[in-house]
Structure 1
Amino acid sequence: MPAGRHPPDHAPLELERFLPYQLSIVSNTVSQAIADDYQARHDLGVTEWRVMAVLARFDGLSAREVAERTAMDKVAVSRALARLVAAGRVRRHTHASDKRRSVLGLTAAGWKIHDEVAPMARQRERELLARLGPDEQAWLRRILDKLMPQDGHES
């Protein structure tokens, strides 16, 4: 076999054409563009923002449920929650009927940040989607809906 060539079972993966890689690059690029805005204004990381966004949509979740809904690592979610609680952005209290379970929600300070960041995030989404025509946008939504994990949670 010529130098520099690999047998088929050792052929390098063409990352630039590999769908999971492409989705990750698009996601990271868009997320970081939004994050640049709220990190500077609110000293808020991507994981913290995602936790806040989920709690704004679904008040009263446990840390485990936040991790499930965001598909993020439980340890990363736990650290983000600790920072958010310490900063007074998220409240944590004990569930009324299950004293072992913590229930989470945004505080007034958390809502204030959410209500400033969410419109910025929506604007970034509009800018990204503006690169596509209406039919392409509809197809993208349908394709993403098909590719999303089917775990029974509404999004």
Structure 2
Amino acid sequence: MTFKLDDYLPYQLSTTSNVVSDVIAGEYKSLFGLKIPEWRVMSVLGVRGASTQRHLVEATLMDKVTVNRAVKNLVDRALLDRSPNTADGRSHHLMLSAKGRDLYEKIMPAALAMEKKIMAVLTAQEKAELSAMLAKIKKSADTLAAE
């Protein structure tokens, strides 16, 4: 059996994801001083609203330490607000502060413009098919992970 790493789906997904993230991150790191984990936390909070750190770990698929470090940096920069979680005294609700919301609103157009440049090599139909295929692959992996 001959194994070709470049044809191995997990390798293709990982390397593609990393390079796409790095290219887009270059935009908001140079313009806004954010690292990838910080932007992922901000984007989840920007879309979903207030969340606990545990939920951020689940939503971003990053480990606890990475999320903790990103949250600390964002709080230190006054981009996130914390409030006690009355349902669970051990955690806090995290949300974008007014300053964080303003920054989020500035970053989104840059991130979406870079995504558009990257995806310009695909037709509208190919984009839709890719999205559907990725959703199927994720669902299959989620099913296997739950077994």
TM-score tier after normalising by the smaller chain length: 0.7 to 0.9
**5+ long unaligned stretches in structure 2:** none
Structure 1 residue 69: Cα displacement: 0.5
SS at match of 1:139: helix
The match for 2:50 is 60
**1:61-86 CA distance string (max 9 Å, x none):** 11010010111111100111011111
Structure 1 residue 16: Cα displacement: 1.2
**5+ long unaligned stretches in structure 1:** 1-7
* Greater relative contact order (CA < 8 Å, ≥ 6 in sequence): 2
TM-score, scaled to structure 1: 0.84
Q: Does the Cα contact within 8 Å between 2:41 and 2:67 map onto a contact in 1?
A: yes
1:23 to 13, 37, 46: 13
The match for 1:122 is 112
Structure 1 residue 57: Cα displacement: 1.2
**1:105-132 CA distance string (max 9 Å, x none):** 0011111111111111111221222211
Structure 1 residue 101: Cα displacement: 2.4
- Distance, in Å, in 1 between the alignment partners of 2:50 and 2:32 is 23
The letter of the residue matching 2:123 is G
Q: Which moved more, 1:84-93 or 1:127-136?
A: 127-136
Identity of aligned residues (%): 36
The match for 1:133 is 123
TM-score, scaled to structure 2: 0.88
SS at match of 2:82: strand
Q: Which moved more, 1:69-78 or 1:125-134?
A: 125-134
Root mean square deviation, CA, Å: 1.6
The letter of the residue matching 1:121 is A
Structure 1 residue 97: Cα displacement: 3.9
How many aligned positions are there?
141
The match for 1:75 is 65
The letter of the residue matching 2:135 is D
SS at match of 1:148: helix
The match for 2:4 is 14
Structure 1 residue 135: Cα displacement: 2.0
